[in-house]
Chains A and B, each alone.
Chain A
Amino acid sequence: QVQLVQSGAEVKKPGASVKVSCKASGYTFTSNYIHWVRQAPGQGLEWMGVINPSGGSTTYAQKLQGRVTMTRDTSTSTVYLQLSSLRSEDTAMYYCARDSGGPPRFDPWGQGTLVTVSS
């Protein structure tokens, strides 16, 4: 079955960077875009950006431009989210999600990776 498995929780200090992975299985990795969505504690869902695993092209949310980088490794069917210059406001659960194609929608989602930014 189609599955996205994310890396484990991270604790970072303000100003540091974090890199979260999302390993895809059960389908052709290069056939579907992967998005990243985050959710601060007790808050709603915020779209961060998208990567095309086929060519590596990306589109990022404007508010994160300059701090966010999405990459992929086709040999391991893994996409990565790197966020730099971390602030306390970046404390959140980070999810990857596949655009399953046809009418665009997120399905499935990864299990989430909690990133805590604290001094």
Chain B
Amino acid sequence: DIQMTQSPSSLSASVGDRVTITCRSSQSVDNYLNWYQQKPGKAPKLLIYAASDLQSGVPSRFSGSGSGTDFTLTISNLQPEDFATYYCQQSYNTPWTFGQGTKVEIK
């Protein structure tokens, strides 16, 4: 199975900050890397697919980059509604695996 490792596990940030979350895979997943946002009590929501493509309806302050084994999710100008947990996920092969999550909290 491909292992996905996110860092940091949690972070504190202020409204307006720029936040970067990294995700590393144990082997190359090409660009088959997706990012999801999950708020408490809610299902995850797709933000970024294929490493850097913004899902329709997602604000442009979210962006993704990377390929192979190293990926980043960047949130520029953090907004109050962005405080949530973020997960990366590889869809290169089954089992599709997720990172452990990064919780973005209010400073």
A residues with a Cβ closer than 8 A to B are 35, 44-47, 50, 59, 61-62, 95, 99, 103-112
Question: Interface residue tally of chain B, by bracket?
Answer: 20 to 34
- Contact in complex: A112, B96 (CB < 8 Å): no
- Stretch of B15-23, B66-74, B97-105 at the chain-chain interface: B97-105
What are the residues of chain B within 8 A of A110 when measuring CB–CB? 43
Given contacts A95-B44, A105-B34, 14 further A-B contacts (CB under 8 A): A44-B101, A45-B36, A47-B96, A47-B98, A50-B94, A95-B43, A103-B49, A103-B50, A104-B32, A104-B91, A106-B44, A107-B46, A109-B45, A110-B43
Q: Are A105 and B43 in contact (CB under 8 A)?
A: no
B interface residues (Cβ-Cβ under 8 A, vs A): 31-32, 34, 36, 43-46, 49-50, 53, 55, 87, 89, 91, 94-101
Q: Please report the C-alpha to C-alpha distance between residue A46 and residue B100 in the assembled complex, in whole angstroms.
A: 10
By DSSP majority rule, is chain B's interface helix, strand, loop, or mixed?
Answer: loop
User: Are A103 and B91 in contact, with the CB atoms below 8 A?
Assistant: yes
Complex-state Cα separation, A1 to B52, whole angstroms: 24
Closest to B94 in A: A59
CB distance from B100 to the nearest CB of A (A): 5
Q: Does the CB pair B45–A45 fall under 8 Å? A: no
| Contact between chains at A47 and B95 (CB < 8 Å) | yes
